Chains A and B, each alone.
Chain A
């Protein structure tokens, strides 16, 4: 039996891909709106990127060049696994170079290098509903979106300020899309939120288990929620990357010994390596 099993280009059958593309088109037409789509069981577990994988599978063509990152890095095991999956089932070229990729599938980060027109970012999304932890019922939250009733979220942010003096949300920081839909940027650190605003790239968000797709077409206004007297503030690191010296990148904290010693390094491995190679070529050690 197993010998006879063969799979289509990029795993999914063409009918399934077509139905997912229809959902993507609707999502692009209504930026920030969560479009239900008939999610399929993929050969990797729910919660491990099945939404992103289905979106990528349905937009992938034989001439695409694919980059897959997890936590900003190309070499984390799940990124390796998804990249291998498409290399095997679609035979597409893969890359770690942000600039060379036509499709970038990501979990939890946006690359540091600026994106360009024609590129597509595919986010893996665990919980697409920004209001979910304030209201667990889908029937309720859909109605709240329909009525643009986002008071609950503003109250939550206000309570943060009352309690802590500032908004105590560090990742999955809610954004307003084109002044209409409240959107979860997926669990990216809020550091990445400003990069989503007016991005020249098409940004697609896939949540497989929750069966939702949403999108930010190129040059969409994406505004992090805040208050006039408590404006949104991007996370800033006090030290540069210990490897490449970058001051503008998101840093991972790495514990280096038993005594609590630590260092901060770029979470975007491609960005970090590129900067170090550049510095080496220029003759200076980083």
Chain B
């Protein structure tokens, strides 16, 4: 005899206990600390801060530990926490031109004012699995970072002086939008598109950006500049009326220069694609810049033919917290909908069989089906 399944509550408690045990792993090995994660898995921490939209390395590291290294789960933890934080105000726009550079490369000029600075990068390492990666040299032997203070102009500013690249549109009178406070509506302005891309899943952006390089919405990109380093964040309290420094954050900025044919009203000019990410996140910043440009197709008078050029498609599906929730919700019970579909399918089958009256005997499923009806 069937007895209604009880004990969802007990099952949940038991599952959480099991999860805690699995999270700890082999208890004979030392437990990893959030500090270790923050310092030694810094790129994972950066990704979680960036897609979690919260610049806090300690919390991101704690989230990664709690999520057993599942970065989307960690991003989700950070987002849920962020949603409860009160909004005090908006920081002044950061000046990436005044960035204290740790890395700065241009693929368009061999040498340029401010120079190329390779910085800490996987580029040009040989990807040989090494059980003991080379230890860091003592700090004293390291070359000092680029001298601070001297602002290094962005490459696009050099092009701008000659009028070779479109002018950067200034912010409109309404200031910048915030999709975490106002639901996204279409068409979405570039400010909101960039915000969505900055929070978007790195893998999704990467795949779409890649598709533009393979002919699905080509943009003819050049990496004019990628820079990474520290910028000052400032806030202007209304009652003071002047900027107060809040601290430093690490950013990665990518400016792509893309071809543009020109039009009846505009001389031929390069166009821009822009990417900006928390921490050291070059792949993210570059993919974002490619997509920013692809999503501007319509405003630049280009025909929209590829997924990467379609703002509704990209923006509605780029958020991994939303995507993972809805994909994984399929494991929730759907008994009643399935029952409704089942009844409908049985009805359709019965009607199908009845319409072919004479063939009834030949239909193999008819016997059991008839019983079910």
Contact = CB atoms under 8 A, between A and B. Distances in A.
B268 to A, nearest CB: 31
Interface in A107-126: 107-109, 126
B84 A13 contact: yes
B305 to A, nearest CB: 16
Contacts, number: 154
B340 A47 contact: no
B60 to A, nearest CB: 11
Range of interface residues on A (Cβ < 8 Å): 35 or more
B154 to A, nearest CB: 33
Contacts of A73: 4
Interface in B310-368: 312, 316, 321-322, 324-329, 332-337, 339-344, 348, 351, 368
A191 B341 CA distance: 12
Nearest to B184: A211
B329 A109 contact: no
B131 interface: no
B23 interface: no
A138 B335 contact: no
Interface residues on B, range: 35 or more
Interface in B67-95: 76, 79-84, 86
A38 B183 contact: yes
A278 interface: no
Contacts of B344: 168, 170
B351 A164 contact: yes
B195 interface: no
Interface of A: 1-2, 5, 7-8, 11-13, 15-16, 36-43, 45-48, 50, 70-73, 75-81, 84, 107-109, 126, 136-139, 164-165, 168, 170-172, 187-191, 209, 211-212, 235, 238, 242-243, 250-254, 256, 260, 263, 265, 267, 269, 272
Contacts of A43: 80
B325 A254 contact: no
Contacts of B79: 41
Given A42-B83, A187-B337, A251-B339, A260 B368 contact: yes
Contact of B62 (A2, A45, A260): A2
B215 interface: no
Nearest to B340: A170
Contacts of B321: 41, 45-46
A39 B325 contact: no
